[in-house]
Structure 1
Amino acid sequence: MGIVVLFVYVDDIVITGLTNTTSVDTPTELNVKYRRDEGELVEDPTIYRKLVGSLIYLTITRLDISYVVHTVSKFMQAPRHLHLSVVRRLIRYILGTPSCGLFFLTGSSLQLQAYSDAN
């Protein structure tokens, strides 16, 4: 995936999730616990599911949003308005930080190596 494709993908998420908004400095509020039964259910959960699904895909190159995306993905079965507001805040964060993340250029000789110790 080239850099241009990634920016277009982020723009598509922003257009789907929000229009005419400002960015924020952090992907989520600090020290907030989200619950499954807090608030009213979202009328159309398909929008929530599409946005979260797109954000899951984006975590491949945006490691800074992984925790928040994992948190909101737990509520896919029955999303609430509070959960949708967290997704919208996350999109606002992405809007303000479009150049953050890992970029893998096509044709690059980059070789990724990772090690793990299971103990």
Structure 2
Amino acid sequence: MKDLGKLKYFLGIEVAQSDEGIFLSQRKYVLDIIADTGMLGCKPVSIPLEQYHQLATDNGPVMTDPKKYRRLVGRLVYLSITRPELCYTIHLLSQFMQKPREAHWNAALRVVRFLKGCPGQGILLRANSDLQRSVYVDADWSTCPESRRSLSAYIVLLGGSPINWKTKKQDTVSMSSAEAEYRAMADV
């Protein structure tokens, strides 16, 4: 066995340790995604997904090579290890893996443009915290236009550091926004 010193890089995750805590990011991985998609010269955007998108009901042309889309979305799923703000967008894009359309590909490229503006963003696991648990939950009532199921999202913080997050469709159809919110709280 050999002592290699403090952990700096593991499975695409960069680790920086300081007195403030441990910072986890996937900067090199993000830069590889940007380079592989040919978006090095693009202009960054401030949000990963357009507001009032109609991706679920899009009837545009189907992609001729869906492997590109599947590869990009798969890479974004792995990126969500250190990027909780992408959770909703990745959840949405991963629903179209079977038959992606051009609009879905353009939405995935928009995420890459968002990443170009902040490639080194990540998670700080604080060293000085009170280990108080906080949970934030939200639900979007009847968000899926096809199944009318609501969307639940949550993030769990331990001492101000994110330790768990998720976005998913609820299992049943809620009759009101209050019911959707209660279901989301019950899931967490």
TM bucket (normalised to shorter chain) is 0.7 to 0.9
**Equivalent-residue separation in structure 1 for 2:124 and 2:26 (angstroms):** 9
- Matched residue type, 1:18: G
Percentage of identical aligned residues? 33
Partner of 1:2: 14
* Deviations 1:76-105, CA, capped at 9 Å, x for gaps: 00000000000000000011012322156x
Question: What is the aligned counterpart of 1:102 among 106, 113, 123?
Answer: 123
Question: What is the aligned counterpart of 2:35 among 2, 5, 15?
Answer: 15
* Deviations 1:25-50, CA, capped at 9 Å, x for gaps: 01011111212652001111111000
Decide which structure has greater helix share: 1
Gaps of 5+ in 2: 1-12, 17-24, 132-156, 165-184
**Equivalent-residue separation in structure 1 for 2:95 and 2:120 (angstroms):** 27
- SS of equivalent residue, structure 1 residue 94: helix
Question: Normalization by structure 1: what TM-score?
Answer: 0.81
Given that residues 27 and 121 in structure 2 are in contact (C-alpha distance below 8 angstroms), is that contact kept between their aligned partners in structure 1?
no
Given that residues 24 and 92 in structure 1 are in contact (C-alpha distance below 8 angstroms), is that contact kept between their aligned partners in structure 2?
yes
Task: Give 1:18 deviation, angstroms.
Answer: 3.0
Task: Give 1:118 deviation, angstroms.
Answer: 4.1
Pick closer, same or farther for the CA change 1:60–1:101 going to 2, 3 Å: same
**Equivalent-residue separation in structure 1 for 2:60 and 2:47 (angstroms):** 23
Of the two, which has the highest radius of gyration? 2
- Matched residue type, 1:51: L
**Equivalent-residue separation in structure 2 for 1:103 and 1:9 (angstroms):** 18
Task: Give 1:71 deviation, angstroms.
Answer: 0.2
The higher-RCO structure (CA 8 Å, 6+ apart) is 1
Given that residues 26 and 120 in structure 2 are in contact (C-alpha distance below 8 angstroms), is that contact kept between their aligned partners in structure 1?
no
Task: Give 1:24 deviation, angstroms.
Answer: 0.3
Partner of 2:138: none
Gaps of 5+ in 1: none
Decide which structure has greater strand share: 2
Pick closer, same or farther for the CA change 1:96–1:40 going to 2, 3 Å: same
- SS of equivalent residue, structure 2 residue 108: helix
- Matched residue type, 2:83: R
